[in-house]
Amino acid sequence: MEQTALTPDFSFLERAEASGPFNAAECFQCRKCTNGCPVSFEMDLFPDQIIRLAVLGQRREILQSKTIWVCASCETCSTRCPNGVRIAELMDYFKELAVRAGVAPALPRVAGFHKAFLENIGLTGRVFEGALLPAWWLKTGQIGEKLFTGDLRNDLKQAVGLLGKNRMSLAPGKIKGRSKVKAILRSSS
Ligand code: SF4
Ligand code: SF4
């Protein structure tokens, strides 16, 4: 197995906890988080390993991992943790940190979806499905692929079906607290 040098960042956890607290230092590695995670099979590092790496100041390994992008924020891990480690929230924090630090995401399409989703919500304060997927496809260069494979035609057929059943609208809905949502998104970007 190839050996790589580890470069601990000793203040990494302290800085992360200042945005929490996430209680990562309370972890005693029981793995209840990982055993309950519904998408751990797609991860390159399990949730308990992410926590351990955070405690050991392994910033690069965490921010370059697939795991932070695979995490579906379902909160199962945080609910199961006997020590109150806020694993799901920490995964979100690492995603944001990776974006701010300009770390190339291990899963660019997933990262592109996050970006498109937040931009979409920023427009009207709630998700407008009619624009979300096209924006994501454009952002991640999937349009060409979809045209080539015929997927775009199938997606359009589905969209027409959803419109016909009133499960999707042609215009975005608006909410009252739109400016508050925008302010939240601005403060976290
Ligand atoms: S469930 Fe909590 S204590 Fe157990 S490994 Fe996961 S984070 Fe650590
Ligand atoms: S929040 Fe993320 S890491 Fe935790 S159980 Fe859900 S998918 Fe897994």
Measured by CA distance, the residue closest to atom 5 of ligand 2 is 37
Before 47, cis peptide (omega within 30)? no
Q: Is 73 in the pocket of ligand 2 (CB under 6 A)?
A: yes
Which numbered ligand comes closest to the C-alpha of 81?
Answer: 1
> Do the Cβ atoms of 88 and 124 come closer than 8 Å?
no
Write out the two tokens for 118: 């937040």
Alpha-carbon span 86 to 33, nearest angstrom: 10
Before 21, cis peptide (omega within 30)? yes
- pLDDT value for 4: 64
> Measured in whole angstroms, how far is the alpha carbon of residue 18 from the centre of its chain?
20
Q: Is 91 in the pocket of ligand 2 (CB under 6 A)?
A: yes
- For the domain spanning 12-100, the CATH number is 1.10.1060.10
Q: Is 120 in the pocket of ligand 2 (CB under 6 A)?
A: no
Q: Which residues line ligand 1 (CB under 6 A)?
A: 27-33, 48, 51, 80-83, 85, 87
The secondary structure of residue 171, as a DSSP letter, is S
pLDDT by position in tens, the chain (length 189):
455 667 788 899 999 999 989 999 999 999 999 999 999 999 999 999 999 999 999 999 999 999 999 999 999 999 999 999 999 999 999 999 999 999 999 999 999 999 999 888 888 888 888 888 888 988 888 888 888 888 888 988 988 898 888 888 888 877 888 888 888 877 766
Alpha-carbon span 15 to 23, nearest angstrom: 12
Please measure the distance between the N-terminal and C-terminal CA atoms of the chain and give it in whole angstroms: 39
Alpha-carbon span 140 to 74, nearest angstrom: 24
Q: Where are the domains of the chain?
A: 12-100, 108-187
Q: Environment class of residue 98 by beta-carbon count within 10 Å: exposed (0-12), middle (13-18) or buried (19+)?
A: buried
Which numbered ligand comes closest to the C-alpha of 46?
Answer: 2
E-only strand ranges, the chain: none
pTM, entire model:
0.83
Dihedral, 97, 26, 6, 77 alpha carbons, nearest 10: -60
The ligand 1 atom at the shortest distance from the C-alpha of residue 77 is 1
Write out the two tokens for 137: 């496809």
